[in-house]
Structure 1
């Protein structure tokens, strides 16, 4: 066996032992698909840097292949343009814009999607092509259609897939619009996050089909949902265990804003501990309550800035005990967040698995407990 084969077998054994790989079909795919074909050089974050700096690990560097076969996400592009091979020896900064997602998550999602022989699958976000190759290995090239937004990323993925011996149908374009040729699919899997379910997806996945997607927003809180399509433009589903996050689809990302200036406003005591927004589900609840706001800060000092209206809210410790909040603008952002967090607390602060989602012509609503329970509308 080559070093690559050995490392790949070790990774499969690790994922099996950890419970991430439970289906023999996908275990065989993980053992067969060479991840190094899809990940040449990559960026590694440098601990303790603010803003985060990255060093480049180049193809063939010491530890390169071991990094490829670690169960970790490998960043392959910054700021929508900078590739590892474009950099020198010095650290670089930037926002990750493309990556090879950690194998346990990729394989876990394919298993959660529940595919069967003959299923036609639409993948949103080809990325490096590694996930696409896994799908093609299990279901066959002719059953996989994958759409990538970034032409540079799409070209590299196509070359890697060809080199690995796979030939799925590849499209370069906006995956939020679905298959531009109007195909019909049994399953849809998204490797990017969205603020709401695009209607094109709900029309192209046949009734009885499934959609697996991460919902996010402008505060970058994430939740993975599995939906069953019940009719054209209609679906219902539940959120899944764990803590899954993806980069938000570029057309759904927040617009650029000028440097934030904190302005005076109305001050009052906060009814909730602002640090609740630092928890996985708490941050997501706050995002549901204030969907057009960006969240900054941490602990007792949270900042919400509404992208749409310029409304602001900021919290601080009160020397007398508890916390204060200052709000300004047409939206009382902290009022909205407090109401939502208190509803969640009244239910015992459950993980996202206690929530569901319903999509219909009336809108898209996330609810707690049951469909007629308390809920929040997604921004459309």
Structure 2
């Protein structure tokens, strides 16, 4: 394959590969794939840069140096906002598609443990870069990729063709898989899920692997690797890598003050000494989210006189909520208000105590068993399981 890159682009690619390989030797086959399918070739001219939480459009023609720096940084690049309907006010922009950080992409590809002749289904084509890497490794005929957004699918197909690759690019709902070319040896998702679609298990060969980023209403964090059994049961563990956008068909449009909290709700008032921020970050948050499952949170600054900030908590069914207030002082005692059939802060405190009692486990000690009857979460072994709410 002939590659007509500018010297600047070649140097940028070499620098990226060196960064990705720092402390972790990237396999030669992936170095060859990245060289044959340079990342910048799959990015649109119009991308979005995160500036302290606000996304700003960046045009390649306007600033080629900044565009290339984004293309060859080991960071995700936002390639679409607001499902393709760009807002007039940039502060209203939220990412809806991106090119994932290269180090994460290569970790996922290595976790697939690919071998010649394997057939792969990719969920979420995006820019098409991962599809190109897979095609270089396995051959076009063994790679199928599905994208729910037709505009993204068409653009990725064109970029792949220009770069000399021709995997099958399908526009459709990735949650349904693509049964036309099943069964697959591997299914890899580039969007996170809150439930593993049964179609993925049904379309994977016994002994095959499903690899997907994980999302929980409490925290979007974790990578799940499942092995499919002869009985269409999938079992596997998590790792801490990855935080990806949620699959579009699993989104839930809920607004706290619109859908959950009402003026006439009379909440039960108590106090807590458990630091609120300790339950929403990293390993503790992963454990709490995995243990409880169906709760989510939001922060509100200066919600009332004398309250510096408030942690809101709500159940997924919108029937219960809790609020934990901080007055801004040095006192490590927080006011708690709870409403509904459930006492959500009490559940969080119990889950936090469970996490500490079990040695503060990280994601790699958690696992999941998926069957047609549902999802069973577990710690260390499937014998220690509970239903995932």
**Is the TM-score greater than 0.5?**
yes
Q: By how many angstroms is 1:218 displaced?
A: 2.7
Determine the structure 1 residue equivalent to 2:314: 305
> Paired residue for 1:259, among 229, 247, 257?
257
Q: Unmatched 5+ residue regions in structure 2? A: 1-5, 301-307
| 1:13 counterpart residue number | 18
TM (normalized to structure 1)?
Answer: 0.90
The 8 Å contact of residues 198 and 372 in structure 2, kept in 1 or not, is answered as: no
Give the match for residue 387 of structure 2.
377
Matching of residues 341-360 of structure 1 within 5 Å: 341-360=352-371
Q: Which moved more, 1:259-268 or 1:5-14?
A: 259-268
Aligned length: 368
Normalising to structure 2: TM-score of the pair? Answer: 0.88
1:245 to 243, 246, 253: 243
Please give the per-residue CA displacement for 1:305-355, whole angstroms capped at 9, x wherever unaligned.
223133101113488753342111122222322222211111221211111
Q: Is the 8 A contact 2:120 2:185 kept in 1?
A: yes
SS in 1 for 2:297: strand
- Superposition pairs of residues 153-232 of structure 1, within 5 angstroms: 153-181=152-180, 183-232=182-231
Q: C-alpha displacement at 1:274, in angstroms? A: 2.1
- In the alignment, the residues of structure 2 paired with residue 234 and residue 300 of structure 1 have an alpha-carbon distance, to the nearest angstrom, of 44
Check conservation: 1:188, 1:212, Cα contact below 8 A.
yes
Following TM superposition, by how much is the alpha carbon of 1:5 offset from its aligned partner in structure 2, in angstroms? 1.6
Per-residue CA deviations over 1:132-177 (Å, capped at 9, x if unaligned) read: 1111111110111101011111111111111111100111111111
- CA deviation vs aligned residue, 1:179-229 (integer Å, no higher than 9, x gap): 142610001111000111110001111110111111213334221111111
Aligned residue number for residue 117 of structure 1: 116
Q: CA RMSD in A?
A: 2.3
TM-aligned CA distance change 1:338 to 1:231, over 3 Å: farther
Unaligned 5+ segments in structure 1 are none
- Greater CA drift, 309-318 or 140-149: 309-318
Give the Cα–Cα distance (whole angstroms) in 1 for the partners of residues 204 and 40 of structure 2.
Answer: 32
